[in-house]
Amino acid sequence: DIQMTQSPSSLSASVGDRVTITCRASRSISTYLNWYQQKPGKAPNVVIYGAASLQSGVPSRFSGSGSERDFTLTISSLQPEDFATYYCQQSYFFPFTFGPGTKVDI
């Protein structure tokens, strides 16, 4: 299985801050990397697919970059509704493994 790691595991930020989360795959996955946002008690929602493509309906303050093994999710100006846990997921090899998550809170 491909192992996914994320850093940091949690971070504290304020509204308006620029936030960057990193994800690393244990082997190259090209750009087959998705980012999901999950709020407490809710199902995840995809925000980025293909490492850098913004899912329809997701605000443009979210962006993704990276390829091969190293990826980043950036929120350019954190909004109150962005406080959540973010998971990366690779979709290059089965099983489609998720990272351990990064909790973004105040």
State in angstroms the smallest separation of the CB of 66 from other proteins.
14
Comparison of 19 and 44: residue with beta carbon closer to other proteins: 44
Comparison of 49 and 62: residue with beta carbon closer to other proteins: 49
Cα(106)–Cα(67) distance, integer angstroms:
30
* Buried/exposed 26-43: b ≥16 CB within 10 Å, e otherwise: eeebebbbbbbbeeeeee
Q: Which of residues 24-43 bind other proteins (CB under 8 A)?
A: 30-32, 34, 36, 38, 43
Cα(95)–Cα(91) distance, integer angstroms:
8
Token pair of 28, please? 């190259």
Comparison of 42 and 60: residue with beta carbon closer to other proteins: 42
- Could you tell me which stretch among 21-29, 59-67, 74-82, 87-95 binds other proteins (CB under 8 A)? 87-95
